[in-house]
Copies of this chain bind each other. A is one copy, B any other.
Amino acid sequence: MSVITAVETFDIRFPTSQELDGSDAMNPDPDYSAAYLIISTDAGDELEGHGFVFTIGRGNEVEAAAIDALRPHIMGQNVEDLLADMGGTWNLLVHDSQLRWLGPEKGVMHMAIGAVVNALWDLKAKRAGLPLWELLASLSPEEIVALVDFRYLSDALTPEEALEILRRAEPGRAERHARLLAEGYAGYTTTPGWLGYSDRKLARLAKEAVADGFTQIKLKVGASLEDDIRRVRVAREAVGADIKIAVDANQRWDVQEAIDWMAHLAPYDIAWIEEPTSPDDILGHAAIARGVAPIPVATGEHVQNRVMFKQLLQADAIGVLQLDAARVAGVNENIAILLLAAKFGIRVCPHAGGVGLCEAVQHISMFDFIAVSGEKDDRMIEFVDHLHEHFVTPVDVRGGCYWPPSAPGAGAEMHRQTLSVFSFPDGATWSSDAADGQQPAERELALKEAAADA
Contacts and interface: CB of A to CB of B under 8 A. Distances in A.
Interface of A: 26-31, 55-59, 61-63, 65-66, 69, 96-111, 151-155, 251, 254-257, 277-284, 287, 302, 304-305, 307-308, 310-311, 314-315
Given A65-B62, A287-B155, A100 B281 contact: no
B280 A106 contact: yes
Nearest to A101: B56
Given A62-B66, A282-B283, A154 B106 contact: no
A55 B98 CA distance: 8
A57, A104, A110, most chain B CB atoms within 10 A: A104
B104 A106 contact: no
A324 to B, nearest CB: 11
Contacts of A30: 97-98, 101
B284 A155 contact: yes
Nearest to A354: B101
A302 B255 CA distance: 25
Given A59-B99, A62-B66, A281-B311, 14 more contacts: A26-B100, A30-B98, A55-B101, A57-B101, A62-B65, A102-B108, A108-B108, A152-B254, A152-B278, A154-B254, A154-B257, A155-B256, A283-B314, A284-B311
A210 to B, nearest CB: 31
Contacts of A69: 58-59, 61-62
Contacts of A278: 104-105, 151-152, 307
Contacts of A311: 280-284
A62, A106, A305, A307, most chain B CB atoms within 10 A: A62
Contact of A59 (B29, B109, B151, B283): B109
A348 B151 CA distance: 28
B154 A28 contact: no
13 contacts: A57-B101, A59-B102, A102-B108, A107-B109, A154-B254, A154-B255, A155-B254, A280-B307, A280-B308, A281-B307, A283-B315, A284-B307, A284-B311
Contacts of A106: 106-107, 280, 304
B58 A277 contact: no
Contacts of A55: 98, 101-102
A310 B108 CA distance: 23
Contacts of A314: 283
Nearest to A277: B152
A55 B108 CA distance: 14
A110 B154 CA distance: 29
Contacts of A27: 97-98, 100-101
Contacts of A97: 26-30, 56
Contacts of A26: 97, 100
A29 to B, nearest CB: 6
Contacts of A61: 65, 69
Nearest to A150: B254
A102 B107 contact: yes
A236 B255 CA distance: 47
B283 A98 contact: no
A31, A96, A106, most chain B CB atoms within 10 A: A106
Nearest to A95: B26
Contacts of A152: 254, 277-278, 280-281, 284
B254 A280 contact: no
